[in-house]
A and B are shown apart, each in its own frame.
Chain A
Amino acid sequence: MTEQDILVRLVEDSEMQACNLFHNKLYKKSRSFEQWQWEFKSNLYNSSSVPFAVAVNQGQIVGTQALIPIRMIDRTGVYWTAKSEETLVDPQFRGNKLFERMYTVLFNYAKEHNYVNIWGFTPAAKAFTRLDFSISARTEQLFIPFSQKAISMLLAKGTSGTQSTIKRSLRNIVAHAGGRIAQSVAAFKISMQRRVKLTGLKLENICDPTDETAEVCQRFIDRWGGRTIYRDSNYFKWRFFTNPYVRSNIAGIFFEKELLGWVAFSLGDDGMGYLIDLMVNGDESRISTESLVRELLLEAVIRTRNMGAYGIRSWHVNEHPFDRIVTRVAKKVGFFHIKRGHAFVLYDCDGGSSRSAADNFNEWYITRAFTQGLHG
């Protein structure tokens, strides 16, 4: 078998079920076809073809690489980017440059469709750097344990198979002791928080997509600069309200019926609470941004705890001014900052224009909404 025996191209409708089965077989998962379709086919770009590359050998799927089109916004307007997803090559077919070949198909697709850049999160950044992706930063965690189970889960995710039993046991004992202290400190800090009391200010669930979210997004960028996902009603509908995995709860903060911001949170299938998204744009003369952020963080913390979460996790990614505020307030509310996460990789499709260049990564405002939505 030579490299050329393996066909690399965009997926055809008749192969979509097989792509999902390929993923399920390799990862031992039970993702439904409906979930596959939501993730890759029902995207917001409305293109006739799906940016999902496949490697096919004798009619069998042996590799996949996908892009999820995501619309972003900066001060110059709204533009399209794509999230890299579903990087998978059958172990038997490694060494055939399938990853590179699939990405060649997708780079062409991105160019044709005017995507400004391609980005993603990966534990295997090396493969991406070979394709001229740059590693811009790593995600970091903001974390509150509500119970000891949260510590066990965190440890399980970070356990390396090469560690000796003694070393692992010692690490567990220390982590659990630290976890107990963290739990108590966080519980104390949460109980000490006083909710903002301002006539006209109230929290309400957002249960349907609304155009107001796009306005908040626009004002957010006007104020804080940089770039972030354009969270209009279509995005909310797709990303949150029709998410076939877990639908986030979204608490909006309103001042006299005007939406100032929101927090999206969920309970993942693993029992952990996740702070998925947080965005605020208020009028400092009425109430400070910090106060609004604190209100929303507390709402997410208390409600995920009431949902039975073992803990709650959020992201701190870079030095975007709003991300810095969120991190600062989160620590006051009881979150702990853990420097562990995945690499953020970025590829410029338009030849390094200021909009997409990797060296201004601190201008990106990133939340867990940038993930593909498995946890909400």
Chain B
Amino acid sequence: MKRSKLLWGVLGGAAVVAAIGTLLVGGLSENVVYFLTPSELVARGTEAVDQPLRLGGQVKPGSVVWDAEELDLIFAVQDSVGEIGVRYTGAQPAMFREGIGVVIEGSMQGNGVFEATNLMVKHSNEYKAPHGDSIPGTMYESIIRPEVEE
């Protein structure tokens, strides 16, 4: 009697472990997102199409086309060797500019354009950034209202 209960326990445990193992292996293999540079992505060719990816590189100077009405952003991201065209729909991150490092989440389309679902400006948080004579104040001078509101 006791033995059979133990058996049940072991079987139950094994079933749980097996189920979880299956979930895990399936889950991990499907949901690993590779982090590539533009040249690595170019090297993968069509193999990379439709896979979720993170692409890291620099916004190519002169490549940015921005439609503020439609929130449509097209630019090229490059590293020292290759470049990839990127299309993103949504507001530009505030720090987005030509030449800056970006991390783009999305996937390569069959037409060779990287469709971005998320666009992040890469910033290092290693060292403290500056402080001083109100640079933001001068940046947005034209829309500052003098009265301080709460």
Q: Do chains A and B interact in one complex? A: no
